[in-house]
Amino acid sequence: MKALIDGFMKFQSEAFPQRSDLFKHLANTQHPGTLFITCSDSRVVPELLTQQEPGELFVIRNAGNIVPSYSPHPGGVTATVEYAVAVLNVTDIVICGHSDCGAMTAVAKCKCMDHLPAVAGWLQHAESAKVINESRTHVSEAAKVSSMVRENVIAQLANIQTHPSVRIALEKGSLNLHGWVYDIETGSIDALDSDNRSFKSLIEHPETCAVRAFSLAAA
């Protein structure tokens, strides 16, 4: 806790004064343009890797960057998606997986999670991605995990389109969906090109990856 308290002290004395006008503006309003859905992994920091200021991203984080399909008994992820789309009117949703993901490693390697029943139940929302990944031949365990991370992003993009608020916004043309995979070691991002269901470097293909949105028809 000492590190956290020391960090807060530094924030109060250095970071906050530099952005005092921004925080004053944000005190009673927010207008984020993007809903960013990613993993809870401590090594993935959405605002850092996208260089966004407070108020610019609306963030959902959970194990495996999961978005359960819409159901009669919606949970916290569903409620947050609905609020972001229907109330905050975000124009883009990014679902971002990452390298060395513990959740996707467990799924890809079929690790026993009897001692983690809540985690096991949660990761069932990645079952469709697992089935697809298992149907393919992989050159190594590492390649299998990497493929699982990507298939899971695609699966969650399909899941999120079962949410009424998202489908309505997509039909109106006011929302775009994007799939990213962040590499922790290199700091690079690969983005999904829905035309051919492949991931391309965001650095090498910024125009294509930034504009072209994923759609259920491409799944």
pLDDT digits (tens, 9 = 90+) for 64-103: 999 999 998 889 999 999 999 999 999 999 999 999 999 9
CB contact at 8 A, 193 and 208: yes
CA atoms within 13 A on the CB side of 160: 34
Note the pLDDT of residue 219. Answer: 43
pLDDT at residue 217 greater than cutoff 50: no
**Beta-carbon neighbour count of residue 206 at 10 Å?**
12
Domains of the chain: 1-30 (no CATH), 31-218 (3.40.1050.10)
Token readout for 197 is 């269901």
Identify which of 199, 198, 190, 194 has the alpha carbon closest to the alpha carbon of residue 211: 194
CB contact at 8 A, 32 and 88: yes
Cα distance between residue 23 and residue 17, in whole Å: 9
Active site residues: 39, 41, 43, 98, 101
DSSP, collapsed to helix, strand or coil, labels residue 187 as: coil
Mean pLDDT across the stretch 15-20? Answer: 95
Mean pLDDT of the chain: 93
Note the pLDDT of residue 197. Answer: 79
pLDDT digits (tens, 9 = 90+) for 150-190: 999 999 999 999 999 999 999 999 999 999 999 999 999 99
176-182 β-sheet, strand order = 57-62, 34-39, 92-98, 176-182, 189-193, 198-201
Cα distance between residue 39 and residue 183, in whole Å: 13
pTM: 0.93
